Copies of this chain bind each other. A is one copy, B any other.
Amino acid sequence: MKKILLVLTIISSTVSFSNEDSLFVRKIYDMALEGGHAYENLRSLCKDIGARITGSAEAKIAIDWGKNLMDGYAFDHVYLQEIKVPHWERGNTEAAWIMNESGDVAKLSVLALGGSIGTSGLIEGEVVKVESIQELEALTPEQINGKIIFFNRPFDQKMIQTFKAYGACVDQRWEGTNVASKLNAKAVVIRSMASSTDEHPHTGSMHYDKDVAPVPGAAISTVDADRLVDWLAKGTVTLKMEMDCRFFPDEISYNVIGEMTGNEDDQIITFGGHLDSWDVGEGAHDDGAGVVHSLEALRILKELGYQPNHTLRCVLFMNEENGNFGGKSYAEIAAENKEKHLCALETDRGGFLPMGFDVVGNSAQVDFIRQFATLLKPYDLLKFNPGYGGVDIGPLRSYYPEMLQLGMAVNSQRYFDYHHSAADVFESVNKRELELGAAAMAAMIYLIDQNL
């Protein structure tokens, strides 16, 4: 054993748990893995209902579905929280083609970005490829006028955590139409926000700044983006596109809430995922998994006869995908009602192998969570790092800036193969990985309820 530069210091930590805690966490896992409801609930949400974008009939049915399940589980308090939400629909027409100077034509796999205006008939323009917002901003209206901007920056595959690769690209989708509009572009297409190279276009949210004239935005598959790059390398390419997506008037919708009432005080531990999804696929990983994780966590704690110290509140948020009015309204109503909020946890990264929890908080709060590492290690929960909580619970921090928040961290390698695409279906979720996620949520909720 030569070349060891320094003597290894043995890693050690002092365990701060009772055997009772350890046994109870084991019971949670046993119940999830042997008789869990998460997988069947996800099947039902995906197959009996399907994709459920805010404002759709499916979203309304999903609200009934969630409340009925909670009623059936006989949680102490089950109710709907009224909120106002946007209503955008994809419409019936959605198609795009590219043509080169030789007259070759190829149909693209395309999806309007969520929130885009339609095209008002078939539009066309010469394609200008850029790799970033900054590259486009350096061009002039004369160079861009009437053309179609193709944002092509792919995921950086070298990033180990795929959410970081997503974060480094998503400005093209969110902001691209605004910059393009200022330069008089006719429309925007983006390379799909995806880790994989395949035929699926991946939609997702975009927005229009108030001061710009909106132009349509769409995503094309990574395979089509590669083809478009090839064609552009050989000459001028024209893109033709028609989409009739549009907004409808805002609507009333609901967050679905179920609680177990605490013993000690009126402090609340909120946990949940989002009930809405994009309108393609089945919203299985995003975020059917988080919905059934959260329902199952509360079911298991109740089924095991657990009497919580604090109120455990499971929230199935509406409208995370295009507006986050579920999360925003939940936080506003909490503050208006002067609720006391102890902590919030979110699960919105898919039904993959759970690996730990990201912690939003100060160093003492991070240490508080890390004390559970030894107890949770046998369950392969190994990552407890400062990080991100979730979109739905994020707004709570405006009103409760000191509150501890957690986001369940799962294996992220496959998430962006499915995310916001037709591939996000029930069959892409593994039963054991899903059930382990529900158990991880229940265990962390239990440990926080016992110790915070």
Question: Using a CB–CB distance below 8 Å, which chain A residues touch chain B?
Answer: 1-18, 29-30, 33-34, 157-158, 160, 162, 195-196, 353, 355, 364, 367-368, 370-371, 373, 378-380, 382-383, 411, 413-414, 417, 430-433, 436, 450-452
The 3 A-B pairs with the shortest beta carbon distances in the complex, nearest first, are A382-B382, A9-B14, A6-B16
* Chain A contact residues: helix, strand, loop or mixed: loop
A34 to B8, CA, bound (A): 33
- Known contacts A353-B353, A383-B382, A433-B413; is-contact A9 B7 (Cβ 8 Å): no
Q: Is the CB of B11 within 8 A of A12?
A: yes
> Which of B11, B29, B160 is the one whose CB lies under 8 Å from A160?
B29
Nearest residue (CB) in B for A432 is B413
Which residues of B sit under 8 angstroms from A12, Cβ to Cβ? 9, 11
A450 to B15, CA, bound (A): 35
Which residues of B sit under 8 angstroms from A2, Cβ to Cβ? 451-452
Q: Is the CB of B33 within 8 A of A157?
A: yes
> Which of B10, B14, B196 is the one whose CB lies under 8 Å from A367?
B10
Q: Is the CB of B414 within 8 A of A433?
A: yes
- Known contacts A34-B158, A353-B411; is-contact A8 B4 (Cβ 8 Å): no
- Known contacts A7-B14, A16-B5, A16-B6; is-contact A158 B29 (Cβ 8 Å): yes
- Known contacts A10-B367, A414-B433; is-contact A34 B157 (Cβ 8 Å): yes
Chain B: minimal CB distance from A106 (Å)? 24
- Known contacts A34-B157, A417-B430; is-contact A13 B5 (Cβ 8 Å): no
A431 to B195, CA, bound (A): 9
